[in-house]
Structure 1
Amino acid sequence: MDEKQLLKDAKTCTRWALSLTVVLVILWPGVMFLTGYEYSLTFFKGWAALAFTWLIVAGTFITALPIVEARKAKKQ
């Protein structure tokens, strides 16, 4: 890949990451807080389970993909 394409892709990924962070960390919980939404224990457990599942899946991909890519590159 050329340097221009890498910079363009990096900017796109940065925008997506910042946008998702704002939406998932600030806007979504903020709306529930401002409307006076009361979390039930079941809702909180589901939210925590979703967060931990997301953490495990992301960690697996972050760990496994570089290993797989390195093995593919080594075979070539």
Structure 2
Amino acid sequence: MSIVKSLAKAKMENKKVELHTKGGEKLIGIVLSLSDSKVTILLGYSAKRDFLISHLVSVDILDEKIGVSL
């Protein structure tokens, strides 16, 4: 399943996603919006910052080569 399809399914089911960016950052949150090139999530946790946060983060799917865990 493609990344966009995985994110679309998570958005539809209102499930948390775990994104791994090529920069090594792990982001956990809820998908708010999605296009073919960008995903916006309500971020609940950032492993790089190692604390709980609550703000919007947009990730460029094409540039970041993200991996998704549902």
TM-score of Structure 1 vs Structure 2, range by shorter chain: under 0.3
Greater helix content: 1
Mark the structure with the bigger radius of gyration: 1
The structure showing larger relative contact order (alpha-carbon pairs under 8 Å, at least 6 residues apart) is 2
Q: What's the TM-score, normalizing by structure 1?
A: 0.23
TM-score (norm 2): 0.25
